[in-house]
Amino acid sequence: MSDLSWLTARPIAHRGLHDMNKARWENTLPAFEAAAQRGYAIECDVRLTKDGVPVVFHDPDLKRLTGRDGLVRDMACEDLCALTIGSTVDHVPTLQQMLDLVAGRVPLVVELKGCRGFDEGLVAIVARHLSDYDGKAAIMSFDHWLIRQFAAQAPGIPAGLTACGSNTEEIEAHFSMLAHDIDFVSYGVFDLPNPFVRFVREKLSMPVISWTVREQGDVERTFAHVDQMTFEGFEPAPATA
C-alpha cells in the first residue's frame, strides 16, 4: 500500500465547505474554494451525464438541488451545467472544473455515484481526469459493482469503500470488498465501532475516515475509533499538513 498519510492528515469537508445550503451550497465551486482556502481536504460526489461527462452532483435526480424534474443520467452535460443550484447563481460543475479550481491545494476524495446499468465507463473516465491531476486524490464508492472495477480501470489511484451498517449481513458484505484491493474505508460515524473497522485498522493497517460528522459527540466517536472525519455544519481547526 502506498503512503496515504495525506488522506487522514486534515479534516475533510463533506461536499466542500458549504453552509448547509443557505447561501453556499454543497458540491459547488464556492464550497470547494472555501474549503481549499481554509486548508480542509474535500469530499465530493461525481455522476455521469447522458453524454458521458463526469459532473459533481450528489443526488440521482435534480429536484432537491435545482428545483427541476428529471435525472442526471438523462441530461446532456451542457444542459445540466446550465442549471443553477438552489437560489444561487452557481451552476452544476463538471469534475474538470472542480479539479481546475482546487489545483492541488488540498487533497480530494471523490465518491463515485453509480446507477446500475447506466454507469458504464464512470470509473475509467474519472480515472483519466485524476491521472492528469497535479494533486493528491482518491476515489471511493458505496457501489460494489464500481469497486470491482477500480483495480483494472483506475490503477494507481487510491481507492476506498464507502460503507455503513452494523448487522452481520452488512459486515460480511464489507469484508467481501477486501478482495478488490481497496486502500481505505470511509464509514458512517453512527455505526462506529464495529468488527469490520477494527479489522481493517488493526490487522490490515488500513486508514479509516468517518462520515458525516456534524456535532461534538461524533467528533469524539470518530477519533476514538478511526483516523479522520468527514464533516459538515461547523469548522474544525484545519491542519497545516
Domain containing residue 18: CATH number: 3.20.20.190
In angstroms, rounded to a whole number, what is the distance separating the alpha carbons of residues 210 and 229?
A: 5
Model's pTM, two decimal places?
0.97
**Is 126 a member of any domain?**
yes
Comparing CA positions, the residue from 97, 98, 53 lying closest to residue 73 is 53
- Expressed as residue numbers, the domain containing 169 is 5-230
**Is 236 a member of any domain?**
no
Tens of pLDDT, residue by residue, the chain (241 residues): 579 999 999 999 999 999 999 999 999 999 999 999 999 999 999 999 999 999 999 999 999 999 999 999 999 999 999 999 999 999 999 999 999 999 999 999 999 999 888 888 999 999 999 999 999 999 999 999 999 999 999 999 999 999 999 999 999 999 999 999 999 999 999 999 999 999 999 999 999 999 999 999 999 999 999 999 999 999 998 765 5
Q: Would strands 228-231 and 12-14 be described as parallel, antiparallel, or unpaired?
A: parallel
**Residue 239 pLDDT:** 62
* 93, 66 Cβ separation under 8 angstroms: no
**Is 239 a member of any domain?**
no
* 125, 47 Cβ separation under 8 angstroms: no
**Residue 2 pLDDT:** 79
**Is 211 a member of any domain?**
yes
Provide the domain count of the chain.
1
**Is 223 a member of any domain?**
yes
Burial classification of residue 154, based on how many CB atoms lie within 10 Å of its CB (0-12 exposed, 13-18 middle, 19 or more buried): buried
In angstroms, rounded to a whole number, what is the distance separating the alpha carbons of residues 102 and 152?
A: 27
**Is 206 a member of any domain?**
yes
**Is 142 a member of any domain?**
yes
**Is 241 a member of any domain?**
no
Q: Which residue has the cell 477486501?
A: 178
Identify any residues that bridge with 47 across adjacent strands, giving them in sequence order.
55
